[in-house]
Structure formats: structure tokens, C-alpha cells
Amino acid sequence: MIKVGIVGITGFAGLELLKILLKHRFIQVEYISSRSENGKNLTDIYPQFSNIFDTKIEEIDTEKIKSLDVVFLALPHTISMEIAKNLYGSVRIIDLSADFRLSSVDVYEKWYNKKHTAADLLKKAVYGLPELNKEKIAKSNLIANPGCYATSIILPLSPILDYIDKKSIIADSASGVSGAGRGVKSNLQFCEVNENFKAYSVAKHRHTPEVEEVLSSISDGVKITFSPHLLPLQRGILSTVYAKLNKSIEKDEVFDICKRFYKNEFFVRIKKELPSLNSVRGSNFCDIGIEIDEENNRLIMVSAIDNLIKGASGQAVQNMNIMFNLNEEEGLELLSYYP
């Protein structure tokens, strides 16, 4: 059995990780910890685990973590890097924060307004999007789990970069409230979110450089205008991505290109119809639909993911499976919630 730990168990990502890992046939969750709730029983915070996982939340103890095979860091950015630099080389790390997603210290510090204190690990980290980086993930000791918005934008665009003007890309994405984490914030109170819909961080969201860097590694010179929106829902991301076509192409051709690109990728589904959140919420799938605006020579792609699963914890488990040479789907046979 693979010995697993979760640091940051009380956040939404940590909670989702545990739910998935408890169904996994080849792992044993041996350690859970939190920055703020240590000493409590997990069931004091999440009573749904009663009679299933009645376990005490421990302090963050790097020596205990080093005795594990792999640890998930489900922590805010800047916190993860401090722990990762004390663990690297002793245990395999899957980091769900943004601390190792960007290759440049300067870019990280510009977008996150924080000093990066583990710069030497940036070159050792592997960007953990399994559909693009499987071979590197398998050999890595430090995985940077992708951002949720970034996942929903990179996956539809990756197959078709040669067919579009790479500086014309616009992405409008809408996310459920859980994407902002479990912390108390005034703009996420019920009366602020319920029956409301709004844009935020327009043209300055931190996932922008992540998307540009990953896509530019496939085809140089990608630039994106990104506008995220907040949905009055608990979970899910729907992204609509627009780009000018640089050559004449039919919708069926784009469909075939994407199908071939992801032919061996179980968790990416290319659809004839446009996807909705109902088809992916609660699962590790990314559904992608395609349209072409012939009047304006523009490609339109729509993707749907669950931001807490394919956008975070499910993708992290997918990475773990690859790292330990397991079936990529192990523990992730999750059907979407419907209704």
C-alpha cells in the first residue's frame, strides 16, 4: 500500500482529496494535518466522516511526513513553498497551490505579489496536467497541480493552436463559489452571491500567465485575454474560449483533430454538443464542445469541469496514479452528480 498524507485537510481541496482517496484500492491515508484545526477530530469539522474516518487532525510535522510515500499539499500559495523545500527529496510531493506552476520567479512575484523562497525547486517541479505531461509526471518528485481555470482553458486549446491566431484568444470562464476556498470573505457571503453573477479580476487573474506559459510551450507566442466570473453555484467551471482562425476549417475537422489529440485520454471527452456543468459536476472529466462562427471566422470552444475535482483534487490523484505506475483512472471512477 502507498502511504499518503494530506496537509490542509480542512479546506475544500483537502476534503475532496480524502473523499477520493478513501475509495482508492492501493493507498492508505496515514496522516492528515491542518494549520488551524490541529488537535480536533476530523468529524468535529466534517461530521459526514463519522464511522468512516474518525481520525485526529495533527500538527504539520515534516519528520512524520517524510515517512510517507507521497504527500498532498492542499495549502494557500506561499505556504506550500515553505513546507515543500523542507520535504523535497524525502517524499514525493503533489502541490495544489500555485507556488510551483510558473517557471519564472519574476513572473510569480509579479502576479502573486509575494517573494518566492524556494526558487531552486521551480526547475525541478513538473506541471501536473496529465494529458500533456504524463512522461515527466511519472518521474517527478514534485508536481505542480494546475489551476482550475487554467485546466479548463488549456485542455480545449492545446490541440488546435496551429489553426488559430495565437494572440487573439479570449476566455470567459464562470466558476462556482467553492473555487475561492473555505475562508470567510465578505464578497462571498450568501447575500452577495445568491441570485447574482459578476466578473472579477478581469485581465489580471493569476491563472493568466499559467495558461500562456503552458500553451506557449506547445506553440510559441500564445497570449490570452481572460475574464473570470463568479456563479451562484457551489462547484463547477464553464469556460467559453474564442480565437480567430488562421485557415479555413470545418467544425467536423476541429472535432476530429481534438478526438485524435485526446484519443488515449480517458478524462477528456470531445462532444458533438456543447457541454454543461451537470455532465461533469462530481467527476474528473473535462467535456469540450466546438462551434465555428463562420461569419467572423472565429472558433468557439466550450469546456466544463468540476473545479474541485478535475480542477484540483481529482487531477492531483490522477497525477499520483501516474507517479506510482497505477491505472490513471484508479479511485476516480466518479459519476457526475445529477440531479
Encode pLDDT of 225-253 as tens digits: 999 999 999 999 999 999 999 988 999 99
Q: Residue 194: which CATH number? A: 3.30.360.10
- Domain membership flag for residue 270: yes
How many Cα atoms within 13 Å fall on the side-chain side of residue 3? 9
Could you list the residue range(s) of the whole structural domain that residue 89 is in? Answer: 2-146+310-323
- Considering the domain architecture, whether residues 102 and 236 belong to the same structural domain is answered as no
135-183 residue pLDDT tens: 999 999 999 999 999 999 999 999 999 999 999 999 999 999 987 776 6
State the cell numbers at 56: 485526529
pLDDT at 110: 95
- Considering the domain architecture, whether residues 213 and 264 belong to the same structural domain is answered as yes
- Considering the domain architecture, whether residues 142 and 159 belong to the same structural domain is answered as no
CA 48 → CA 19, 70, 154, 177, 250, distances in Å? 10, 25, 34, 21, 49
pTM for the structure as a whole: 0.96
pLDDT at 337: 84
pLDDT at 36: 83
Q: Is the pLDDT of residue 255 over 90?
A: yes
- Considering the domain architecture, whether residues 198 and 263 belong to the same structural domain is answered as yes
Total number of residues shown for the chain: 339
- Domain membership flag for residue 72: yes
- Domain membership flag for residue 260: yes
Residues recognised as catalytic: 148
pLDDT at 183: 64
Q: Is the pLDDT of residue 185 over 90?
A: no
Number of structural domains in the chain: 2
- Considering the domain architecture, whether residues 135 and 204 belong to the same structural domain is answered as no
**Phi/psi at 200 (nearest 5 deg)?**
-155, 160
- Considering the domain architecture, whether residues 193 and 124 belong to the same structural domain is answered as no
- Considering the domain architecture, whether residues 142 and 161 belong to the same structural domain is answered as no
Q: Is the pLDDT of residue 312 over 80?
A: yes
Q: Is the pLDDT of residue 313 over 90?
A: yes
- Considering the domain architecture, whether residues 249 and 319 belong to the same structural domain is answered as no
pLDDT at 184: 58
CA gap 267, 57 in Å, rounded:
32
